[in-house]
Amino acid sequence: MPSLPQRKVGIVACSGEEIPEGTVTRLAALKVLEELRPNDTVTICLPLFLAGGEGDRAFAKFYPTIAVDGCEKRCAARATELYSNKPAVSLLVDDIIAERGLPRPQGLRRLSSEATPLVDALAEAIAAEVDLLMAARWSRAEGKVLEPETTTPAKVSSAACACGSGIPVTRVQVNGRALEIMALDPILEMAYNQGLHVGVDGQADPVPEHKGVEAPAVFLPAQIMDTVRLYNTIPAEDDAYYAEAVRIAWQSYCAGKEQTHG
Amino acid sequence: MTEQFAEATPLRVVVVPCSGIGKSYGTVTREAAYIVVEDLCPETTHIVPLSLLVLGDEQAQEAVRGVQVITIDGCKLACATVNVGQAGGQVAREFTVLDCYRRNKQFKPQGIAELNEGGQALAQALAQEVAQAAGELSAQGGTHA
């Protein structure tokens, strides 16, 4: 089976050679890549955006990317946006220095030991952003973070009854109201196995109209509702709601069966 | 920062390492460049950061035009050489870590954030080659023919 590309976050460090902050970005990025989040992160050399191919330039579209810069020129963030895609996050060493009250780093080839807390703090900030991006939805088509999906409860869901009897209970949402129906799954299974299908059965009964309940799109076989009544006590005033709930469940069940059968 | 190399450019040889971050070879180029400009030829060489060239920074681009530029690349994609060329500079000498490693197989580089002894030795060997080239180019005059 072909393996799908794993979800990861890209890190692009400026690595600026002429200032200590450039070395800080490089070491912090490497700390995240090698120690803090090795399974969740990838990197690319910044100059590859110009020297590389189309694949390299697609980097920040394919991966949500964190640009890490050593100075206000923001080479990593701006070059990434210029050649690839707008980074999801842009971090600046100066901001970390200000936030944490840390001393300015010294040294180019070898950072002074006083710079170690800054490297650690920047690495932690990157790792925190990695965690946020891993939890977010990323569109590779659009190259941006998508709005969180609003979780709507499934229209039809089944579970064993809380009484411990083992009888399955199906919960169906009708017009914002959740109805629980005992033994609905086996009833629908039996009906389907007896040859009843959505909208094709000659003995089907239309669901009665009821205030607040939309007119049914499909017919519900009368036998199903009769059997449901055997196992469930349905108040007369809620009959239309239950009928609609069973119709939705029946439609969903049949659609599932048809998908399974191709 | 960029004013520094803009002022110094006519008298100096520019060294541009590749900025590679994914492999040991990239770190070797960076280390070798620092050895050249800090230890071996501090008066005649200086580094122009590749990230500024990638961004298209005018001062950085100016700093590689009309001068002797030595590039040091970590892989065959030759980012330093390509980017200097795209910035309008002419590369006088180009070095690659792999070529140097072939001549010094006893120095096997490992580590990216921190090079092992082999990597340090390879960076030293590479820096010697670059420094020699820088000396030759300086003797010809800092500006490019």
Chain A residues with beta carbon closer than 8 angstroms to that of B50: 15, 17, 46-47
Interface of B with A in 45-84 (CB under 8 A): 47-57, 77-80, 82-83
* Packed helices A184-193 and A222-231: angle between N→C axes, nearest 10 degrees: 150
How high is the ipTM of this complex?
Answer: 0.87
pLDDT band, residue A251 (cuts 50/70/90)? confident
Chain B residues with beta carbon closer than 8 angstroms to that of A76: 51
Interface of A with B in 103-142 (CB under 8 A): 108-109
3-state DSSP assignment of residue A210: strand
- Give the Å distances, CA to CA, from A161 to A1, A103, A152, A182, A200: 38, 62, 22, 8, 32
* pLDDT for residue A80: 94
Bridge partners (DSSP) of residue B91 are: B69
* pLDDT for residue A180: 86
A64-110 pLDDT tens trace? 999 999 999 999 999 999 999 999 999 999 999 999 999 999 998 88
* pLDDT for residue A135: 87
Continuous segment of H or E residues that includes residue A56: helix A54-57
* pLDDT for residue A210: 42
Our CA-based measurement puts residue A121 at a distance from the nearest CA of chain B, in whole angstroms, of 16
Regions in chain B scoring below 70 on pLDDT: 1-11, 141-145
Residue of B nearest to A15 (CA): B19
Asked if B38 and A27 come within 8 Å (Cβ–Cβ), the reply is no
B interface test, pick of A11, A12, A14, A18 with most B CB neighbours within 10 Å: A18
Closest CB from A26, A50, A78 relative to B86: A50
Half-sphere exposure of A221 (CA within 13 A, CB side): 22
Question: How far, in whole angstroms, is CA A183 from its chain's centroid?
Answer: 33
Closest CB from A14, A79, A108 relative to B34: A108
Residue A99 in contact with partner chain B when CB distance is under 8 A: no
Asked if A76 and B51 come within 8 Å (Cβ–Cβ), the reply is yes
A108-147 pLDDT tens trace? 888 999 999 999 999 999 999 999 999 888 887 788 888 7
* pLDDT for residue A153: 53
